[in-house]
Structure 1
Amino acid sequence: MSEEEWKSLFPIGTVFKSPLLISGSSVKNSIGPLVFNPVPTSLTRLFSSQSLLPSLSPPSVLNLPRFLLTSSSVVPSTSSSVASLFGEQQCCSDPPSVLRYNRLQCLPCPNSSSVVVFFPTGPNSDHVGFLVVSSNGSGLDVQSDCSNDVFSVESELNYQIFGIAVNPTLGFVDDSCVDIGFLLAYTMYSVEWFIVKNHAIGSIRRPSVSLVHMGSKVFKTCSVVHACWNPHLSEESVVLLEDGSLFLFDMEPLLKAKNYNANANLKGIKLKVSWDGLDCSKKVKWLSCDFSWHPRILIVARSDAVFLVDLRENECSISCLMKIETLPSSLGEKEQFLAFSKAGSDGFYFSVASNRLLLLCDIRKPLSPVLQWTHGLDDPSYVNVFSLSELRSSPGNSMYKVASESGYCIVLGSFWSSEFNTFCYGPSPPALDQSISSRSSKYFQSLYAWERPSNLILSGRECPCSSCLTRQESLKDAICEWVEWQQKKEIVLGFSILDNNLSLPFTGQNEYGSFTLVRLMSSGVLEAQTYQASWNSLKKIDVVHKESLNLNDYLLYGWLLDDKYRFTRRYIYFNFDYLMGYLNDKLDEVVDSFMRKYSKDSLCEQSLSLEVHEVLCEKIKACGFDRLRSTPALAVVFNDISLPSSIQEIAFRKLWASLPMELLHFSFSSYSEFLENKNTVSIEFLSVPSLHQLPPFMLRDPSNRSNKWSHKVPRTENIVGPVLPLPILLVLHEFRNGCSKLEEEGVGKFSLEAEFREQYDEIRSAAGEMAVSPFEPKVDDGPAVSLGDDREYVSAESQKPKNFVSFHPFAFNSRTLYNTQGNLTNCANVFDSLIFKLEGKEASSEKSENNASRELYNGLCPVELEFNAPLMDFGSKELKAYDMLKRQLLKWEDGFDAYKEFRSKI
């Protein structure tokens, strides 16, 4: 290995002074300034339209566990368990795939000072739009359509445009127009080809440009990764698919036949490229492709390697130019290539960027990078190489002309993160007196990095001072996690560097050269700005110093412009102090803090309306309790089971029935009480049912009202509720019995968790005594509570023996603990065991004569059925249909072994 090759193995930036880095004052006189700063006074708005706004689907910033928590009522442990089934989750802040590409492409118009600017437009970014930018001597003009909007191709692509590529050419000329170039636009599953025509030829008028659709190709089995034009044969293009397949399309037959059909499905040639033996596993990702120095030699990049594909012979030859394994192992196992671009016009060099390194490679020296930098950017997705003469055009001093013509600049960055850096390189600085031998050796000399990388303020309006940067990061952190900061900040979606004849007039000294950049902003603005070559980066931009301290709302996502979202938004804010107190087992402290602001007597001694009092008393008494009972009997609670219920549901029902009437009034009221305050949000509650049940009344009819009362759905005076949750009522009950334990010294803190756990244990023990378990042993072997020892008053109906079944569904075999943040329900098996009442033979005798039709359903299932529906008499047709359905059900039961086994054990 030669000395120069050995030096190239050191990444520029990892050591104080890298071996292949040319830096310092001694070489500045040969290279010139390599920092490019925006000129704030040159900022020019060229065009503004809603058609320039991107139509993007916002990326999800919530990982799967967080999404489950925010979009459903599952508890954290369950959401984490479900998310773990899907394996390792990807980064939640990945940018949309369409923002990984430059959305702006420019095609110069020959023999004129104009350029055609292309970009995606339309409601789904599925149209090709364009504007014509021309120089008028004192500035830039924009030519738009007759309605002062962007030009747009009428044909609609089937999918959202991911990328646009142009290829200039001076093709066929007739009496009316001339072909000035080709354009292709690729989506996820299709590619569209166009001819760009200029209808204003042979005159001094500005260009009159149109696009003629040549045809398309839809790939139904695999998505498109990249598409590019052949710089050697302008009519050819190549398409790279997600599985590594390559297709070559030649437009020359269409051009000769002049048979353009927008609906034509073009047939390309699938190149005979076999990736067998090159480790094409599902983990690798294909990135891009481009033509090398020959029209039949391609460079193809993927996430782990870069290949040279030689198609000059009958059989394809593939060689590896760069592997991710050749990079230093200290970078980590997750290092992969992210962006690729050809470097220079000769086709021998290319640049490729990984997570941490930027490499410049030569196809003549495989597996050995010519230069490598540590770029310090976050997931760069865009890379391009410009000649230094483009960036330092029209200098007032020709001292650095030789360096500009031999040097190059790599622009690397990400449109999503709005960070771009420039990396300059070239041969060793030319000496003043060169010998013949030294001049002849220029073809064999090594390339060097010219100075260290510098930041490129692509938006042109960001102040780089430390206070502004710190403020920006603080504002980003303050944004809600489900809101992307790109929605609050104007970012660049695409850019292009204009030719020298299109540059903005430069006011001031242009000693070292400059360039004019046209860019597309996320606010729907097309603008231009001049960048000047300087020795040092800007420390502060006074013009935008104050503006950069704010984050405004920008419409990054075009779907927000839909008419249905243009109504005035009104926000209602809720106080979740009680919810947070409950989750952290501090609800008593929150309630106590609230009650200190008001009179406790006025809260605890609020009068109970006679109507509500009578209705609740009737419900409680009908279920087997008298008004004076303070603690309900377990037998009565079990007798109220009408549907399969979990231990938690039964325990909560017992707690509800044990509350005194004075507190039940806080949870059951009428709508008239809610409507007294007209500013209150429209509230919806279910009415108390007529069927005898214990609170909170599980079986109820659905509501028949809308969001607001109207003449079609008049307001009712029914008793509704509960309007307050059970935990708050339990805390109020604790205050009512002995005020707050927080005020008593030496007394333990009231804990809802302990109260619930005590009730769960009691219900679990009673279930073990009263209910049979067909497939499992009894749930708990703790201290049993005998229902026979309960000698308080119980109605005659509730004293009759009932049979119950404790059933554990197979789906709950994991026995996952259902925990909340405050561990309020940190008790196993309070959800996964269902208890239900068996249908007894005496059920028919207990029913009235009017319920004779309901006895038809006896024996159909082991659960005792109750109906909350009006009675109806069955006629002969109904009975005939019933008998047919019953036979089908019995036939299914006889053929289902698991059900037969279950019925035999209960």
Structure 2
Amino acid sequence: MELSEEWKSLFPISAVFRPPFLLSGPSAKPILGPLFFNPVTNTINPIFSSPSLLPQFSPLPRLSLPRFLLTSSSHSSPLPSTSSSIASLFGNQYHRNGTSTFSHNRLEILHCHGTNSFILFFPAGENSDQVGFMLLTMKGSTLDVRVDNDGDFFTAKCGFSYRISRISVNPVADSDFQSRTGANLSFTVGYLLACTMYSVHWFVVKFRMNDLDEELPSLAVMGSKVFKTCPVVHACWSPHIPEESVVLLESGALFLFDFDSSSKAENFNAYSKGTRLKVSWDGYGNMEKVKWLGCEFSWHPRILIVARTDAVFLVDLRFDECIVSCLAKIEMLHMYTSIENERFLAFAKVEYDGFHFVLASTSLLLLCDVRKPLMPLLQWTHGLVEPCYINVFRLSDLRSRPKDDLYNWASESGFCIILGSFWNCEFSLFCYGPSFPASSGSVAAEVAEFCKSFYAWELPSDLLLSGRECRCGTCLVKEEFSKDALPEWVDWQQKKDIVLGFAIINNDLSALLSEPDEFGGFTLIRLLSSGKLESQRFSASWDPLKRLEDFHGDLSKFENSLFYSICNEKYKFRRIFQYIELDYLYGYLNGNLDEVLISKMKSHHLGPELKDSFSPEFHQILCEKLNSCGFGRLRSSPAITLVFNDISLPSSIHDIALRRLWADLPMEFLQLAFSNYSEFLEVLVNRNRVSLEFLAVPDLAQLPPFFLRKPSCRSNKWSEKVKHSEALVGPVLPLPMLLMLHDLRNGCPNSEEDSSKFAVEAELRLQCNEVMQVAREIAAQGAASELDDDGAVSLADDKEDTWVGSQQAKRFLLHHPTAFNSTSMDRTEGKSVYKDDAFNTLISKLHKRTSSDNEESVGLEMFDDLCPILLRFDGASDPRFESKELKAYKLLKKQFSKWQGNFDLYKDFCSKSKLQA
């Protein structure tokens, strides 16, 4: 089906299969040439480095403002209601994060027309409130850096009251401004403006001759404007009249400034009034819910393009009455994205054409034409997170100096959009241009003159501005793990040297720096957050670079970068370091816990012997607790079925194996694991001796390690009035250490050479296998079907004599929770995500119905009807509910039963378990 040009543009590149406006594949390569640009690692050259280039910013919290207020102080934190009310005073927290601070390019380049020099501009000063600059000149194949007499970069003589957020330059293409003042020759090479939050400052960029007949750059103030009531959003130069500038405020107000008369007369004003443009935004949406992005001059000196987060407008000021028309709306993106959370984030005009502009939203990138409102020429899905930087370059600027002109047509006709975020260190390249050239004199060539449709050239590609990051899978995974290891209040950008700004040297100057590439390339100058300026060569290639050999594997962790404010003061607090001995844990992780224990015991025997602190009362309490669970004082390895009797909550095979290992320990080792506070040695912490805290052993009959316990009641302020707590607590030693001590005692090794090399993990695995085997045998006896890997089988015991020490029938349920499965298809096929059945196999005890149907329960047993699993109420007496409680219970039970009947997973669970739902 043939579609019109307008309909074809509605299919975004990378979002649909075979988009109509995409030129790609084998047929396109011989015409378009290579469109991937990879860094050449051996061409990184340092230009300049100075602590003065560091961005002086205080750390920005990733937490929301209310959460930040709650966690900022541990002593005087406000209440949640108070922090929320404080945060509401600041209004909408839109873009109040790290991305807004680094949303603009911090490095601007001004090519000096007719010379081999260019000037780099950047924010400088303690608060980034000065304009810093340096002169770079091509000398042979190297860059000569010209700085001031102190070896630092030049700075503008005036400073600002606010931090510079944006710098923009406007070059002068001719030499009409040459003039002679006294004996010194000076000429203008361009103009510069610097935006802060509440002011805009304009400069003229000149070259002056010093006493040594050297040309040095300088900045002369043309004017400044402070907006006291409204912040500045954007300011731009006019490409038609070099001395004109437009400023956009957060309220949507536009101001025009003309410095033509003052610049030629060199009678610069310290204060500029400007002219407020008569633009009304009434009827163009709710101004309080949107944010303005920027403004640019269009094809006429009195036609502006103004963008905000929900729309883009064309402002025509050629007549007495201002005419505002809409060029783009966020609603026009509804076909391929949800507009509920969609907004425009970045906007730029194509400098090489006064009609075209590019626009980036949360998920889409658009190429638009002012002559075709509400109808984008091209669309891409960019896949970037919060992109804030966007610019358009000619393809010839990125493929300069090729060895042959085989792809000269594509280089001269194509364009490249660079979209990304300095904060996220992600940039992508989007190439576009006209269709394939038609033969001269053909009908297609004549049609192309009138209907110039743009096509995307190949799919978007990544642009690695840092030039030193390996993008192979191993390095990417390692980097993501390093990010996840940081605390939630620390941005990984604080730990990494990131690119804060970049500039591309034009073709003429780039030709002096390097030899011709096979397919062409460009020279990039970047500003790093570590205060370094460096250049690197990028070359065009057929394939993206998957691995940088020079930097592969270098990232082991994020280092502390000099990204934030540097304090010159010495550290004035006492340095106190506390160390924790983790010898036993280290030995366990390395598989030599036995060697560590033997070494510790040898060193212990050399010292004075400690008095036995175990009391006979404590020994008796432990024996009583084990007897209540079916384990006598004289016992061998306990039967697994006895451990099954202790199940009160759904337990995994691993949990049951741990209980058996605990119950298998002799009493003298259990005395090492459980004690009371009167027998503990105090620990020296911060010069104070304190007792350690452990969980109390429950009064109910349970096997160690006693799940779901309450904390013990103790205090560090014990005195004669407040006695020590005598509650049993523990375990104070972990099970692997007790098992190792038990094995060492049985083997009685006298040296490290005689060590038994007892493997705790192997013993635990053996116990898990035995528990699983018994569970399968009981399932085979109590159920007709075999144990299914992903099903649920009732362990109903029809033969009472198979349970050792059991006085009544016990019913259990063996099942795999659906949370351990991946998809419904995998559940149907019996495939589990986790292959270790010791963790994803649960055993639950089922309640036994003791009351008949006509007997009404009035105690805790009436809760047995709510679910098949046995409910146990620890520490609760057996109350008798009255009529009011029973009425409320029946109402709640009815609602709960209705929910169970509508819950498919529960019904499926009961069906597989052969239970009554």
Q: Per the shorter chain, which TM-score range?
A: 0.5 to 0.7
Post-superposition offset of 1:204:
12
Post-superposition offset of 1:215:
2.1
Gaps of 5+ in 2: 583-603, 616-676, 716-917
TM-superposition CA deviations, 1:50-103 (whole Å, max 9, x none):
111111232111234643553345999964895499579968993253300000
CA-atom RMSD in angstroms: 3.8
Does structure 2 conserve the Cα–Cα contact (< 8 Å) formed by 1:290 and 1:298? yes
CA distance in 1, matches of 2:280, 2:120: 38
1:101 pairs, out of 68, 90, 104, with 104
TM-superposition CA deviations, 1:460-513 (whole Å, max 9, x none):
111111111111111111112222111211111011111123227676761211
Does structure 1 conserve the Cα–Cα contact (< 8 Å) formed by 2:401 and 2:516? no
Post-superposition offset of 1:533:
1.0
Does structure 2 conserve the Cα–Cα contact (< 8 Å) formed by 1:488 and 1:553? yes
Partner of 1:349: 356
Does structure 1 conserve the Cα–Cα contact (< 8 Å) formed by 2:55 and 2:563? yes
Does structure 2 conserve the Cα–Cα contact (< 8 Å) formed by 1:273 and 1:316? yes
Post-superposition offset of 1:433:
4.8
Does structure 2 conserve the Cα–Cα contact (< 8 Å) formed by 1:37 and 1:531? yes
Aligned 1:161-200 pairs, distance under 5 A: 161-169=164-172, 170=174, 171-175=176-180, 176-200=185-209
Does structure 2 conserve the Cα–Cα contact (< 8 Å) formed by 1:114 and 1:207? no
CA distance in 1, matches of 2:434, 2:713: 77
CA distance in 2, matches of 1:151, 1:77: 46
Post-superposition offset of 1:545:
1.2
CA distance in 2, matches of 1:218, 1:536: 50
Q: Does 2:227 match 1:219?
A: yes
Partner of 1:36: 37
The alpha-carbon distance between structure 1 residues 568 and 397, as it changes in their structure 2 partners (threshold 3 A), is: farther
1:295 pairs, out of 276, 301, 317, with 301
Secondary structure, aligned partner of 1:537? coil
Partner of 2:337: 331
Q: Does 2:379 match 1:363?
A: no
The alpha-carbon distance between structure 1 residues 666 and 422, as it changes in their structure 2 partners (threshold 3 A), is: same
TM-superposition CA deviations, 1:514-551 (whole Å, max 9, x none):
11111111110111111111111011111111334442
2:315 pairs, out of 309, 312, 316, with 309
The alpha-carbon distance between structure 1 residues 86 and 54, as it changes in their structure 2 partners (threshold 3 A), is: closer
Report the AA paired with residue 20 of structure 1: F
Partner of 1:60: 61
TM-superposition CA deviations, 1:121-143 (whole Å, max 9, x none):
00000000001111111211111
Aligned 1:614-625 pairs, distance under 5 A: none
Post-superposition offset of 1:192:
0.7
Does structure 2 conserve the Cα–Cα contact (< 8 Å) formed by 1:224 and 1:242? yes
Aligned 1:67-86 pairs, distance under 5 A: 67-73=68-74, 79=80, 83=84
Partner of 1:806: none
Does structure 2 conserve the Cα–Cα contact (< 8 Å) formed by 1:394 and 1:513? yes
Secondary structure, aligned partner of 2:261? helix
The alpha-carbon distance between structure 1 residues 83 and 572, as it changes in their structure 2 partners (threshold 3 A), is: farther
Does structure 2 conserve the Cα–Cα contact (< 8 Å) formed by 1:60 and 1:92? no
The alpha-carbon distance between structure 1 residues 93 and 363, as it changes in their structure 2 partners (threshold 3 A), is: closer
CA distance in 1, matches of 2:527, 2:23: 35
Does structure 2 conserve the Cα–Cα contact (< 8 Å) formed by 1:504 and 1:529? no
Partner of 1:637: none
Partner of 1:767: none
CA distance in 2, matches of 1:158, 1:246: 22
Does structure 1 conserve the Cα–Cα contact (< 8 Å) formed by 2:419 and 2:427? yes
Gaps of 5+ in 1: 578-596, 605-661, 668-672, 675-679, 684-722, 757-906
Report the AA paired with residue 195 of structure 2: Y
CA distance in 2, matches of 1:392, 1:28: 15
Aligned 1:100-179 pairs, distance under 5 A: 100-169=103-172, 170=174, 171-175=176-180, 176-179=185-188
TM-score, scaled to structure 2 = 0.62
CA distance in 2, matches of 1:97, 1:271: 27
Q: Does 2:1 match 1:14?
A: no
The alpha-carbon distance between structure 1 residues 508 and 437, as it changes in their structure 2 partners (threshold 3 A), is: closer
CA distance in 1, matches of 2:99, 2:572: 27
The alpha-carbon distance between structure 1 residues 348 and 92, as it changes in their structure 2 partners (threshold 3 A), is: closer
Post-superposition offset of 1:744:
8.7
Does structure 2 conserve the Cα–Cα contact (< 8 Å) formed by 1:504 and 1:530? no
Report the AA paired with residue 60 of structure 1: P
The alpha-carbon distance between structure 1 residues 530 and 505, as it changes in their structure 2 partners (threshold 3 A), is: farther
- Greater Cα offset, 338-347 or 373-382: 338-347
CA distance in 1, matches of 2:202, 2:312: 27
Report the AA paired with residue 577 of structure 2: I
Secondary structure, aligned partner of 1:331? coil
Q: Does 2:476 match 1:517?
A: no
Aligned 1:259-278 pairs, distance under 5 A: 259-261=267-269, 264-278=270-284
Does structure 2 conserve the Cα–Cα contact (< 8 Å) formed by 1:177 and 1:200? yes
The alpha-carbon distance between structure 1 residues 749 and 542, as it changes in their structure 2 partners (threshold 3 A), is: closer
Post-superposition offset of 1:112:
1.1
- Greater Cα offset, 298-307 or 163-172: 163-172
Report the AA paired with residue 163 of structure 1: R
Post-superposition offset of 1:246:
0.4
Partner of 1:318: 324
Does structure 2 conserve the Cα–Cα contact (< 8 Å) formed by 1:337 and 1:353? yes
Secondary structure, aligned partner of 1:274? coil
- Greater Cα offset, 328-337 or 66-75: 66-75
TM-superposition CA deviations, 1:414-458 (whole Å, max 9, x none):
000000000000100113555266246324221100110000001
The alpha-carbon distance between structure 1 residues 106 and 542, as it changes in their structure 2 partners (threshold 3 A), is: same
Post-superposition offset of 1:345:
1.9
Q: Does 2:258 match 1:250?
A: yes
The alpha-carbon distance between structure 1 residues 521 and 464, as it changes in their structure 2 partners (threshold 3 A), is: same
CA distance in 2, matches of 1:111, 1:448: 35
Secondary structure, aligned partner of 1:412? strand
CA distance in 2, matches of 1:165, 1:520: 16
CA distance in 1, matches of 2:15, 2:490: 36
CA distance in 1, matches of 2:293, 2:310: 10
Secondary structure, aligned partner of 2:61? coil
CA distance in 2, matches of 1:600, 1:303: 76
TM-superposition CA deviations, 1:153-180 (whole Å, max 9, x none):
1211110000001111245222220011
- Greater Cα offset, 496-505 or 75-84: 75-84
Post-superposition offset of 1:294:
0.4
Secondary structure, aligned partner of 1:216? strand
Percent identity reads 49
CA distance in 2, matches of 1:600, 1:3: 95
Does structure 2 conserve the Cα–Cα contact (< 8 Å) formed by 1:741 and 1:750? no
Does structure 1 conserve the Cα–Cα contact (< 8 Å) formed by 2:297 and 2:303? yes
Does structure 1 conserve the Cα–Cα contact (< 8 Å) formed by 2:254 and 2:277? yes
1:441 pairs, out of 444, 448, 461, with 448
Partner of 2:249: 241
Q: Does 2:531 match 1:572?
A: no
TM-score, scaled to structure 1 = 0.63
Does structure 1 conserve the Cα–Cα contact (< 8 Å) formed by 2:368 and 2:378? yes
Q: Does 2:216 match 1:229?
A: no
Secondary structure, aligned partner of 1:449? strand
TM-superposition CA deviations, 1:365-384 (whole Å, max 9, x none):
00000000000000000000
Post-superposition offset of 1:553:
1.9
Partner of 1:543: 550
Partner of 2:913: none
CA distance in 1, matches of 2:574, 2:110: 43
Report the AA paired with residue 141 of structure 2: S
CA distance in 2, matches of 1:204, 1:11: 59
CA distance in 1, matches of 2:510, 2:324: 43
TM-superposition CA deviations, 1:361-408 (whole Å, max 9, x none):
000000000000000000000000001111111211112112111110
Report the AA paired with residue 318 of structure 1: V
